[in-house]
Structures are given as C-alpha cells and as structure tokens.
Structure 1
Amino acid sequence: MFRRFCLLGLMLLSLNAIAGPEPTRFGDLVVYHNVFNSSMLQPDIAANAGLMRGPTHGVLNVAVQRPDGSAVDAVLKGEVRSLIGQPVALDFKRIQEGDAIYFVANYSATQRGVLLFKVDIQAEEGAMVHSLSFQQEFFPDDQ
C-alpha cells in the first residue's frame, strides 16, 4: 500500500516539475497545481487514491507549501465548469506521503473543450481564503 502511494506521489511530483505551471503565491503560501487525464495513473494506484479512471475523467492535483518547501495541510474547496455549463463541485482527497501532502480531485468532461477551475484554499480552518482560478483545455482519451 505504501509503495503504491509512493508511486502516485512520484508521478504527481514529476508532473509538477515537468508540466505544471509556475506556482501561485498567496502571501506565505505557495500553491502548485496541474491537471492531467486519469489514464496516466495505473488502475491500482487510482483505486488506492480513490480516483476514477476513464476516457472522460481528469485529475486536478494541488500541493500547498510554505516558501521553505514545507507542506501545508490546507483546506480546499473547488469547482469546475465548462464555458457553458453549470459549476460542479470538486471532491478533494488528501494524500500524505512522509512530509508531502497532495490534494487530488476527479472531474469529467465528455468532449474536448476548455474547463474553468476555481479552488478556494485556506492554510487552516478560519484562515484567510485565497482563490486560485485557471482554465485548462481537456482532451478526452481516445480509448
């Protein structure tokens, strides 16, 4: 079990390093995020993380840190919507591996298009809420 989460963590870290945008800074919080198709995860790793896989499922990965690189066990709430659709709440799952903490959430889209994401981030309950908004084009898998 631990090995599977380590593999998931390594994949998420590598995605941040290779394909993720520059981090967003909110005061003393540094927020990393990336979006990828769920088919990039092995089935058993996705299942252990509580994520769905499939041609129309994507994954949003968020990591919150302090400037010194220490992980923040933040509170996240978010939503995703297409340009013409209603917002759909994101159900973030917390994954901790050693000192690293990640938050992952599934989303779905049946066709190629731009998706709008909004994630509210609090360093802890009662702290100031910071909003991260971005858009990402989704390409369903051809499987």
Structure 2
Amino acid sequence: MFKPWIVLLSSLFFSSLITAQPAETYVKQLGDMEVHFIGIPTSFLTPEVASSYKIERSRYRGLINIVALDTTGEDKKALSVGISGTATNLVGQTINLEFNKVTEGDAIYYLATVEYPNDETYRFDILINHDGDEQQLKFTQKFYVDE
C-alpha cells in the first residue's frame, strides 16, 4: 500500500541533508512543545506525493512543514494546534501563510506553501497555539530555483 507521508518525510529528511545545516537547527523547544520545521522547494516532492497532498510542484514554490510534539510525557506525541504565520522577504514584502492540517494515524503536521523567485530569503514568523499556550517560532529560509 502506498503511504505518501513516508515519501514526504523521506523527502524532507534528505533535503535537510542537502542544505548543509545541522539537523538541530530545524528543531526548537517552545514551552512544552518540541517544534520541528523545514522549508523545501516543492519540486523536491514526487508527483505522487504532491498530488496526494494537493501541493503544486514548481521550481518557484516552497513547502513549509511544521510539526508540534508534546514533551510533557515520556512519549512525544503529535499535537493538534492552532497555527498561523507570515513570510517576509528581505525587502519587506509579507505573505500570509495558509496552513493545511494533515493527520495520518498518530502523525499531525501543518503544511503551507510560498512562492519565490530565485535566491529569495524569507523570515518566517509562526504563531502556534496549544490550549491557550501561544508560542512564536521564527526562522529564516533561503530558497533557490531548482535548475
């Protein structure tokens, strides 16, 4: 049976290796949440995975993936959270991000896309709310056009 989330997570993992940044830069502890995040070009996704998640594959579109885990217990469990945010480029143009919640078994993650020209850096400002505990995730991601 085809499991698109396995291919998506594999794509995200291998793309993090390509960026030459250590994996720990994609994880932040925010209150009682461990938040995993990454931005990759949607062209890294296979056509099947992109189709199953209704994501447009493009050399000019990035995918943002956010996962929040509960760290209060022994097992880190995925959290259902409220999430919103913006992406701002270096000249100050801001895009409101529209996150889609994806639930597959015990996994919960939030996906948003952003368009970009070549060599574009975005500052992401994401608000994550879990049961009234609002935390702010900030990170910067540079996107390149896949040639």
Find the counterpart in structure 2 of residue 70 from structure 1: 77
Consecutive unaligned residues in structure 1, runs of 5 or more: none
Q: What is the 5 A alignment of 1:1-143?
A: 3-12=3-12, 14-15=13-14, 18=17, 20=23, 21-67=25-71, 68-124=75-131, 127-142=132-147
Instruction: Tell me the amino acid that sits aligned with residue 29 of structure 1.
Output: M
Per the normalisation by structure 1, the TM-score is 0.85
- Deviation string, structure 1 residues 71-106 (Cα, Å, up to 9, x no partner): 001111011121113211111111112111111111
SS in 1 for 2:145: coil
Distance 2:50 2:32 in 1: 31
Instruction: Tell me the amino acid that sits aligned with residue 132 of structure 1.
Output: L
Distance 2:76 2:43 in 1: 29
Query: Judging changes above 3 Å, is the alpha-carbon distance between structure 1 residues 111 and 118 closer, same or farther for their aligned structure 2 residues?
Result: same
- Deviation string, structure 1 residues 115-140 (Cα, Å, up to 9, x no partner): 1111100114xx12211111111111
Cα distance, 1:16 vs structure 2: 8.7
Query: Judging changes above 3 Å, is the alpha-carbon distance between structure 1 residues 100 and 90 closer, same or farther for their aligned structure 2 residues?
Result: same
Consecutive unaligned residues in structure 2, runs of 5 or more: none
Give the length in aligned residue pairs. 139
Instruction: Tell me the amino acid that sits aligned with residue 105 of structure 2.
Output: G
- Kept in 2, the 8 Å contact 1:119–1:133? The answer is yes
Distance 2:52 2:109 in 1: 14
Distance 2:100 2:26 in 1: 23
- Deviation string, structure 1 residues 35-85 (Cα, Å, up to 9, x no partner): 111111012211221212111001111100012310001111011121113
Cα-Cα RMSD: 2.1
Per the normalisation by structure 2, the TM-score is 0.83
